[in-house]
Structure 1
Amino acid sequence: MVVGVPQDPSQLSYAHRLEPFAGRIEREETYEWIRFEGEVFDSADAGSCRFGESVFSSVSLDRTRLRRARFDDTWWHTPRLVGVDAAESTWLDSTITAGVWAGVEAHGAEFRRIVFHQCKLDSVNFRATDLRNVTFVDCLLRDVDFGQSTLTDVTFPGTTLDRARFDRAVMSRVDLRDAAGLEIASGVEALKGATISTTQLFELAPALARQAGITVKDH
């Protein structure tokens, strides 16, 4: 459980305004106070749509286009996003719990005040993305690419990073100390601006030495 994060949609300030989704998704439309429950969107086009104060429960999005879409104060539970194009999308004040993101293209996107809780992110492209006040809690991040991204006030409590990439990323007040696992495939030099534990430092020492051009050899 994440302190301060609604565990049920009934706890949301806008719960009394929610209406069940009916119809179809149309690009460039605005959707407010909508409850999407059990919906399956396959190859849908929600490009440039705005979703405000809405709930997504057990929703599946396969090969759906979310390019330049905006999600403002949304609550997600057990969503499944596979092969989704979310490039240049904007995510504000939202919570995503027990979600699966696989092969999601989120390059050039913006994430502010977002909580990922018990999510699995596999091969997600966060390149050139702006992440501010983002928390990954008890998540698995496998082959996630943060290359050229800006990470500010980002934390990873209980989260395993498996083959993460940080090439040319810029970090400020990034805290990795509570990560359950930290394996960096490339971009270890971008950890400037991050805080790691002593144990993590020893684990990353070989990669740091290689980056610095240091040869470590015992007699």
Structure 2
Amino acid sequence: MPLADQPYAHLLQPHQGPLRRDQRYDTVHFDGLTFDGTQASGASFLECAFTGVTVSDARLRQARFIEVWLEQSRWMATDLAESEWQDGTLLGGVFAGIAAYSSQLRRLTLRQCKLEAVNLRSAVLREVVFEDCRLRDVDFGGAKLTDVSFPGSSLEQVRFGGARMDKVDLRGASRLELPDGHEGLRGAVISSAQLIELAPQFAQALGVLVRDV
């Protein structure tokens, strides 16, 4: 579904100027803008769209993103800790060096996004879909994941140590590379092929020595 088909698309107004701390933004379109070093902690974005936007070295701690559309946007070295994301769509974006620990993500779809060095420790994810995404060095340590899936996504050096999972489906992942924290997969569903691939790591984590002779 393109942005034009969103129920609030006809209400969007172009944004000008910087982002401000604790400001509320309703039906605003951020298009082709660059926010470098922005201090906008506590800001709220309701039915907003971000297209072709670059956010770097910014601070948006405890910001709220409700019913947002992000397309072809780049978020780098940004503090999004304790932020709230709900009913959003993220398309073709890049998220690198992001601190999003203790955040809440509900009913989100991420499609063809790249996430690298993203800290989601102690976050809560519910009804989140990572579709055809690349997750590299993403940390879900201590996070709570419910109804989360990864169809077509590549998980490289992703950590789930101490995570709590319920109805998490990893079967569709094109790659599942976990350096540690295998016990955090309790409650997840994986395929038989993934089990075979991960078997040596499971054995090592359990302290099981495997020998054929």
> What range describes the TM-score normalised by the shorter chain of this pair?
over 0.9
Aligned residue in 2 for 1:70: 64
Partner Cα distance (1:141, 1:67) in 2: 22
TM-score scaled by structure 2? Answer: 0.99
> Structure 1: which 5+ runs fail to align?
1-5
User: Hey, what's the Cα distance between the residues in 2 that align with 1:174 and 1:211?
Assistant: 21
> For the residues of structure 2 that align with 1:127 and 1:84, how far apart are their CA atoms?
15
Q: Does 1:89 align with 2:89?
A: no
Contact 2:18 2:35 in 1 (8 A): no
TM-score, normalisation: structure 1: 0.96
Pick one of 20, 35, 42 that aligns with 2:29: 35
CA distance in 1, matches of 2:143, 2:181: 11
Task: Report the number of matched residues.
Answer: 213
In 1, Cα distance between equivalents of 2:141 and 2:18: 35
Structure 1 vs Structure 2: percent identity of aligned residues?
Answer: 45
Correspondence for 1:140:
134
- Shift in Å, 1:104: 0.3
1:210 CA displacement: 1.1
Counterparts of 1:187 and 1:98, CA distance in 2: 28
Distance 2:210 2:3 in 1: 54
Partner of 1:114: 108
1:42-98 residue CA offsets vs partner (Å, 9 max, x unmatched): 000110000000100000000111100000000010110000000000000000000
CA positional deviation for 1:155: 0.1
- Please state if 1:52 is matched with 2:60: no
In structure 2, stretches of 5+ residues that fail to align are none
Is residue 214 from structure 1 mapped to residue 208 from structure 2 by the alignment? yes
Matched, 1:123 2:117: yes
Equivalent residue of 2:87, what SS? strand
- TM-fit CA distance, 1:195: 0.2
Moved over 6 A (4+): none
Q: Which residue of 2 aligns with 1:14?
A: 8
Query: Deviation digits for residues 133-157 of structure 1, max 9, x if unmatched?
Result: 0000000000100000000000000
In structure 1, distance between residues paired with 2:207 and 2:3: 52
Is 1:155 the counterpart of 2:149? The answer is yes
